[in-house]
């Protein structure tokens, strides 16, 4: 779902058909900035990109004439809507029906504020001929991110025509929704998958932020380099989790949708793609913990209980009245 960030901008992930009529939708992070009068999109949340990273596309709100549902125009693209901007149509895919409605309403509301007067329409039309609708080249360019000396470096890998690069990019930017099917490349699991999806996690040593694929099961929460990996980078047993909650240091870290998983040895700081996803993860992890330990048992009592049971320790309480 789109959300309002600290700068009062509407943000969120969408899939966009960057090359018109190509039928290929790419995952991008969108920012609707009514103060600047523009809609811009990036490879990822700018908070996760190198400082000063440029957007891969932009559109002035004054060019937008109408935003509407495009299900009939793109029947194969689920939750699709279209932005009409001059001679160009931008087709985008939302995450679900409510996400589609929210974005369409937000864009139409923003364009009502910036729509030029009738006397200026002709002048804007002439300006459109000389100004590009989208920043950058028309050719599709793919990128790769490498960590060198603790610093994420984004480099161009291949121009349009490289199906392998495009496929890798799409796989790397899978939707972070729990309702998506668990990927087929992983062997069958013994435990039930409660929730899965992409989030951004802070590293323990370098304190940098990396996008990871998270998997919540009955007894553990694991994260992987991507949803194609079979072995997790780390598995967090739920019996070691003291609490999971919205992060109280989000203002200090300057991160939206940040929550924390507090264990006996470490606090994991995890950023979701939206407030809804953040609360969904908190609810899912908390529910899994309760289901594992039983109602009324916290992480501390669970660990102490195991200790008492192991060493056959019995406590007797006396009350003085």
Q: pLDDT, tens digit, for every residue of 215-269?
A: 999 999 999 999 999 999 999 999 999 999 998 776 666 788 899 999 989 999 9
Residue with more model confidence, 50 or 115: 50
Dump the DSSP string for 200-236. Answer: EEE-SSS--EEEEEEEEESSEEEEESSTT-SS-SEEE
Identify the architecture of domain 3-114 in CATH: Roll (2.30)
pLDDT of 321 reads: 43
How far apart are alpha carbons 197 and 175 in whole angstroms?
7
Output the CA torsion sign for 275, 277, 279, 282.
negative
Read off the pLDDT band of 309 (50, 70, 90).
very low
pLDDT of 248 reads: 78
pLDDT of 203 reads: 86
Is residue 164 helix, strand or coil? helix
* pLDDT digit string, tens, across residues 2-58: 899 888 899 999 999 988 878 889 999 999 999 889 999 999 999 888 888 899 999
- CB of 49 within 8 A of CB of 66? no
Read off the pLDDT band of 137 (50, 70, 90).
very low
Read off the pLDDT band of 151 (50, 70, 90).
very low
How far apart are alpha carbons 227 and 182 in whole angstroms?
9
* pLDDT digit string, tens, across residues 55-72: 999 999 988 888 999 988
- CB of 31 within 8 A of CB of 7? no
Per-residue burial over 103-112, b if 16 or more Cβ lie within 10 Å, else e, is bbebbeebbe
pLDDT of 207 reads: 78
Q: Where are the domains of the chain?
A: 3-114, 193-293
Rounded mean pLDDT of 300-312? 47
Rounded mean pLDDT of 98-106? 93
Read off the pLDDT band of 145 (50, 70, 90).
low
Supply the pTM of this predicted model. 0.53
Read off the pLDDT band of 113 (50, 70, 90).
low
How far apart are alpha carbons 257 and 99 in whole angstroms?
17
Q: Kindly state the tokens that stand for 233.
A: 């980078």
pLDDT of 320 reads: 47
* pLDDT digit string, tens, across residues 259-298: 999 998 999 999 998 889 999 999 999 999 998 877 655 5
Is there a shared CATH topology between the 3-114 domain and the 193-293 domain? yes
Read off the pLDDT band of 116 (50, 70, 90).
very low
Rounded mean pLDDT of 292-315? 52
Is residue 153 helix, strand or coil? strand
Mean pLDDT of the chain: 76
pLDDT of 93 reads: 93
Q: What number does CATH give the domain 193-293? A: 2.30.29.30
């Amino acid at each position: 779902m789109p959300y309002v960030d600290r700068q009062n901008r509407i943000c969120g992930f969408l899939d966009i058909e960057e090359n018109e009529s190509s039928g290929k939708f790419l995952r991008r992070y969108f920012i609707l900035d009514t103060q600047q009068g523009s809609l811009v999109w990036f490879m990822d949340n700018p908070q996760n990109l190198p400082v000063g990273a440029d957007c891969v596309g932009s559109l002035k709100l004054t060019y937008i004439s109408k935003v509407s549902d495009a299900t009939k125009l793109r029947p194969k693209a689920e939750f699709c809507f279209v932005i009409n901007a001059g001679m160009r149509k931008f087709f985008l895919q939302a995450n679900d029906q409510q996400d589609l409605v929210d974005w369409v309403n937000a864009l139409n509301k923003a364009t009502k504020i910036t729509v030029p007067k009738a006397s200026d329409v002709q002048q804007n039309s002439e300006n459109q001929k000389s100004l590009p609708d989208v920043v950058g080249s028309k050719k599709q360019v793919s990128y790769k991110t490498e960590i060198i000396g603790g610093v994420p470096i984004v480099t161009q890998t291949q121009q349009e025509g490289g199906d392998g690069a495009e496929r890798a990019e799409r796989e790397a930017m899978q939707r972070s929704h729990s309702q998506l099917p668990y990927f087929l490349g992983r062997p069958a699991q013994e435990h039930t998958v409660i929730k899965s999806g992409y989030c951004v996690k802070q590293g323990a040593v370098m304190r940098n932020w990396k996008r990871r694929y998270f998997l919540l099961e009955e007894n553990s929460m694991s994260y992987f380099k991507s949803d194609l990996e079979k072995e997790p980078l780390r598995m967090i047993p739920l019996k070691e989790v003291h609490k999971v909650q919205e992060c109280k240091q989000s203002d200090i870290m300057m991160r939206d949708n940040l929550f924390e998983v507090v264990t006996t040895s470490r606090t994991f700081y995890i950023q979701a793609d939206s407030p809804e996803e953040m609360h969904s993860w908190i609810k899912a992890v908390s529910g899994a913990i309760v289901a594992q330990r039983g109602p009324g048992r916290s992480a501390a009592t669970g660990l102490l209980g195991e200790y008492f049971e192991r060493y056959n320790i019995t406590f007797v309480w006396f009350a003085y009245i």
